Amino acid sequence: MRIRIGTRGSKLALWQAQHVKEMIEERSHHQAELVIIKTKGDKIQDTPLARIGGKGLFVKEIEKALLENRIDMAVHSMKDVPVELPGGLEIGAIPQREEPWDLLVVKEREHLQKLPKGAKVGTSSLRRQAQLLAQRPDLQIRPLRGNLDTRYRKLREGDLDAIVVALAGVKRLGINDLPHRVLSPQECLPAIGQGALAIEVRQGMWRETLQALHHPSTAVCIEAERAFLKCIGGSCQVPVAALGRMKNGILVLEGLIATPDGKMVLRGNLRGDPQVARDIGNRLAQELLAQGGKEVIRDLVG
């Protein structure tokens, strides 16, 4: 049977879907084909995501095709997938995660370690904005949308001094023609699910096929991160970050809630048995909410 894989049409989305297609064909007797579906997030390129609905902008149309049996499975960037899935759908597999870090890309090599005062930095992520401003309130944050090629072009040709993008996408597409350095989690804690893929299916479908693609350690970390986000009730209007990592069989989860101007940044971490990953995510979220996170969310969301 030929499996129809739904995907967005950007270079990165196609790379990700092709990667899953190749894994399926290598590890099962099935053949697969890609079906490109345009999402609302692809159509609106000139407005920050927080203003147009944020979560779900890059998956809703693909999920609709899945529910209507026009495709058999969907490949998403995990960070784009809302914590609540439509009825009848489930995450069937989470392959091994690519490096989750953010990447600072600069126009001038001499600015790689320290940007000049008042430097213009391009990002439309409130999470990145908050963490950058917490360390450097003098920076000028400029909105930046579009695929990776577009973002690099805007840095080369525009008046930006730097941009911040996900390392995973840069590695997957082999884009490395400008000076760059990886930001540590202390400098910029990643988005929930960053670097991971989600393979979404109709409930109960393709379980045997997808089992060969699933990476349990990645899935445990993602479970904790998404539980953290769900407990917070995070939206694209609130700078939120979390990263789960396995260390010697123990799950370590770091989390963050901040104000967009970076003047308040609440951070914490918890560790424990990976079998209770969801509980770890919930408990860390509750700790940060009690430390002032509730007020931050109330002021931003209302």
Name the residue with tokens 């026009």.
70
80 is catalytic: yes
**Number of C-beta neighbours around residue 82 at 10 A:** 17
The CA distances from residue 260 to 52, 57, 236, 256, in Å, are 17, 21, 11, 12
Per DSSP (E only), the strands in 123-215 are 140-142, 162-166, 180-182, 197-202
Contact 233, 261 (CB under 8 A): no
DSSP string, 209-259: HHHTT--HHHHHHHHHHHHHHHHHT--TTS-EEEEEEEETTEEEEEEEEE-
The CA distances from residue 154 to 32, 117, 148, 232, in Å, are 35, 20, 10, 34
Per DSSP (E only), the strands in the chain are 2-7, 31-36, 73-77, 89-93, 102-106, 120-122, 140-142, 162-166, 180-182, 197-202, 240-247, 250-258, 265-272
Contact 159, 122 (CB under 8 A): no
Q: Which two tokens stand for residue 75?
A: 């490949």
Catalytic residue among 42, 46, 80, 279: 80
Name the residue with tokens 């001094």.
161
CA–CA separation, 100 vs 194, rounded Å? 5
Q: Which two tokens stand for residue 211?
A: 């089992």
Q: Per-residue b/e over 172-187, b at no fewer than 16 CB within 10 Å? A: bbebeebebeebebeb
Query: Could you list the active site residues?
Result: 80
